[in-house]
Amino acid sequence: MSIGSVPLRYRISVDRDQCMLCERCIDSCPYGVFRKEGEQIHVNSRVCVACHRCISMCPRDAISLVERPVDYRSHPIWTPQVREAIYNQARTGKIILSGMGNAQDYPVIFDRLLLDACQVTNPSIDPLREPMELRTYLGKKPSHLDFKTVDGDTVLQTILSPNLMLETPIMIGHMSYGAISLNAQQSLARAVKECGTFMGTGEGGLHGSLYPFQDHMIVQVASGRFGVDINYLERGAAIEIKIGQGAKPGIGGHLPGEKVCADVSCTRMIPEGSDAISPAPHHDIYSIEDLKQLVRSLKEATEWKKPVFVKIAAVHNSAAIAAGIARSSADAVVIDGFRGGTGAAPRVFRDHVGIPIEAAVASVDAKLRSQGIRNEVSIIASGGIRESADVAKVIALGADAVYIGTAALVAMGCRVCGTCYKGLCPWGIATQRPDLFARLDPDYASVNVANLIHAWTLELSELMGAAGINSIESLRGNRDRLRGYLLDENIMKVLDIKTVGA
Amino acid sequence: MCGIIGVIDRSRQRMDGTGIRSALSRMDERGSGEGAGYAAYGAFPDYKEYYALHVFFDNPHETKPLVEDELSKWGTVEHQEAVPTFEQANIRKLHIPWRFFFKPEIQLMPRSITPADDIVTHLVMKINSSIPGALVYSSGKDLAVFKASGWPEEVADFYRIQDYKGYLWLGHNRYPTNTPGWWGGAHPFNLLHWSVVHNGEITSYGTNRRYIESYGYRCSMFTDTEVVAYLFDLLIRRHGLSIETAVKALAPPFWDEIDRMPGREREIMRAIRLTYGPALMNGPFAIVVANHDSMVGFTDRIKLRPLVSGESGTRLYISSEEAAIRTMDPGVGDITMPRAGEPIIGRAQ
């Protein structure tokens, strides 16, 4: 017996008085919501994903969208989402796929943290009138410096490891060509170059058209090794080994074959149309010493000229894992919190595995300090950074810099519909369909992304100035400038912060 | 706010505490009568070779045996005495100041290049963090810190600092915001050979404290000034940096300026900033730091607190106020105001 269909997720309606039958909605929607019959636009709301492309294209504001127009009988445990997941799995017997980041209603620690500002006893610093330094170096730092005096001149004896220099502690995380379109990658690349920062290639190789931006690209080596050859490694400003991802800790990547067009296939070095499935572990890393070998192999291959980062998902034991990574010759550890986005992840992982970035960064920073090896690695925080205040807070908790992902996509138009895995992104971002990615013009999108980074950088400067700090290194790990607002005592202990009023 | 002053006689001619008392009192406008203090280098010529550990005891009967027990684990006490004090109308004697002249047994700290210093540092950290009611507030050789709650002249008279002589003196007139009334919160702060007087608030304290604690220091004074003493100890004694380099690490030039420096200087400055980023002190401050051979004054990177210096014969003065220097030495000349982050250094011969 059929279990029947589930109620509509969204209802689209068209105001017939307003509609002028321009059919832009029909052109806009790759999911096929709209069709014209006679002198009317008809809709099939069932296929709508709430991407808002039609709404943003309608010249008359004639389209409206309602979420969950049909109520279920309310129940605090058996929510509509839970019920629908069961119907879905009862029908298919499969793992449910999802996109974007964690969609469960967990408390957001960032929203329970408050920043400090100066009053009277110390003056705030006005970034419009005084210098404000956000320049950040990522990579290994020596624990101390040795000098020698030669003929009265001071000569530095210590040789510094290569570091990446960022003009702002905001980078764009790894979103591969394949997961997102080439136009999207080009937009991001232009923006990071403009802003003096970096972006990740993701595990998708480096397309030839991005070579002009290679000095701002961090090339990724993940478990599938897609797109990796010596040319790729040498072009990157830094190399990142991806062990795990916040949206799906413990499992590999999955790029559906529909997204593997000819160009993606060439860049990834895989057959056209084939699913690109990265294994859960790296098949040459079964322990920390294996990671060390890979780190050193990559350094050896690139003549020790490039920093090597290691990215892990924020999990319960992140602190100890990061301490191991710090000893592996790696130059930075990237921690991806459980709110990190993704093109495609099993829903059960996206929503239930991992820990928040705030707690992970705090514990990693504390662990590295307690072992006296904080200088050995930089900490890059990612996964759920939504605004400049989050950047300030996570740096105060101990991060050197952040990766943003979803926020950069939103700056290019993404409406967080969470349907990236279908490859039909109407905004031209998470798609390889030529007519769709043509909608994203890098001339404009790159400006939007650069604007976002610039705006956050300005806000960060203002927040620092208000706190009487004129250099980002004095914010880093400065947890005294944070207070917890209605956070429980255990979390505050992990974050090593006091409560408001204390 | 706070008023600070330091004087060094480069030929190590000792002066008694009368001059610095009147200089510090001249800056009462900068204080609130809730804390003042002095440090004198060269105070104990008879016990020069011993670490002069000064301890505030809340109740000596209760805690002195515990402190003696700790000390006996690491060396021997040559002599001990209550620090002489003289009742003042406005000073409530909350603590009993005591001094031990201590000699560490250096073979107990193998594999250290400065075993005696390391033992004393360990003892200071241990006592201050684990024996409530005992606070080591001065631990260097041949030097003494005198501090309490009160106006500078009262504190000076309480200890009769005119009875002590030193070739280097520091003074601090406090306007407390952090720990009013607590003697431990008054300046100077001292660790081993380092003493610090500080006017300001270090906005990077949280970063600096966590950095310094990862090297085994433990901040126990609930105030930002003590990290300055520890940072100097770490950078200069343990890392072997020069005073100039250490000041460059704590109050470095801006990147804009570094980018314009000539090649080698730029590389050195870049290395300093990368390596010692967590040691960078932010926020408004003017600081005078001293050890046995030198005194250095510097301000924050944008000079949000005042600092002036003056010269008179073999003496160098550094203070918040020119008036204070002139009170102490009317014949002073060469009054200068250092640029932000530029150190003024006086070295004793």
> What is the spatial distance between Cα A293 and Cα A241, in angstroms, rounded to a whole number?
12
pLDDT of the residue at A166? 98
Q: For residue range A153-167, what is the model confidence (pLDDT) as tens digits?
A: 889 999 999 999 999
Is residue B140 included in any domain, yes or no? Answer: yes
Is residue B293 included in any domain, yes or no? Answer: no
- Which whole number is the average pLDDT over B298-314? 95
Judge whether A157 is closer than 8 Å to chain B, CB to CB.
Answer: no
Number of domains in chain B: 1
pLDDT of the residue at B182? 83
| Pick from B200, B271, B284: CB nearest A145 | B271
Q: Which fold has domain A165-499?
A: TIM Barrel (3.20.20)
How confident is residue B178, by pLDDT bands cut at 50, 70 and 90? confident
What range defines the domain where residue B40 resides? Answer: 3-197+301-347
Name chain A contacts of B264, Cβ cutoff 8 Å. Answer: 153, 155-156
Q: For residue range B88-104, what is the model confidence (pLDDT) as tens digits?
A: 998 999 899 999 999 99
Domain edges within chain A = 10-94, 165-499
Q: How far away is chain A from the Cα of B40, in angstroms, using its nearest Cα? A: 29
Residues of B marked active site are found at 2
At the top level of CATH, the class of A10-94 is alpha beta
> What is the spatial distance between Cα B162 and Cα B143, in angstroms, rounded to a whole number?
15
pLDDT surpassing 60 at residue A233: yes
pLDDT surpassing 80 at residue B181: no
Name chain A contacts of B281, Cβ cutoff 8 Å. Answer: 474
Q: For residue range A381-437, what is the model confidence (pLDDT) as tens digits?
A: 999 999 999 999 999 999 999 999 999 999 999 999 999 988 999 999 999 999 999
Is residue B266 included in any domain, yes or no? Answer: no
Instruction: Copy the structure tokens of residue A361.
Output: 């960064």
Is residue B222 included in any domain, yes or no? Answer: no
Q: pTM of the predicted model, to two decimals? A: 0.94
pLDDT of the residue at A1? 52
Name chain B contacts of A477, Cβ cutoff 8 Å. Answer: 206-207, 210-211, 278
Nearest alpha carbon to residue A470 among A120, A126, A115: A126
Chain B positions with Cβ closer than 8 Å to A: 177, 200-201, 203-207, 209-211, 213-215, 238-242, 245, 254-256, 264, 267-268, 270-278, 280-284, 301-302, 304
Cβ-proximal residues to B92 (8 Å cutoff; 6+ apart), any chain = B149
Strand residue runs (E) in A316-470:
332-336, 345-346, 378-382, 401-404
Is residue B27 included in any domain, yes or no? Answer: yes
CATH of the domain at B11: 3.60.20.10
Q: For residue range B46-93, what is the model confidence (pLDDT) as tens digits?
A: 999 999 999 999 999 999 999 999 999 999 999 999 999 999 998 999
- Which whole number is the average pLDDT over A10-32? 96
| Pick from B210, B283, B301: CB nearest A369 | B210
pLDDT of the residue at B224? 83
Name chain A contacts of B278, Cβ cutoff 8 Å. Answer: 374, 473, 476-477
Instruction: Look at strands A217-221 and A199-200 and give their pairing.
Output: parallel
Q: Taking the alpha carbons of A429, A432, A438, A443 in that order, is the dihedral positive or negative? A: positive
Is residue B254 included in any domain, yes or no? Answer: no
Is residue B71 included in any domain, yes or no? Answer: yes
Supply the mean pLDDT for chain B.
94
Is residue B269 included in any domain, yes or no? Answer: no
Q: How many CB atoms lie within 10 A of CB A295?
A: 20
Question: How many contiguous H segments (helices) and E segments (strands) does chain B have?
Answer: 10, 18
Q: How many CB atoms lie within 10 A of CB A351?
A: 21
Residue among B204, B217, B300 with most chain A CBs within 10 A, to mutate: B204
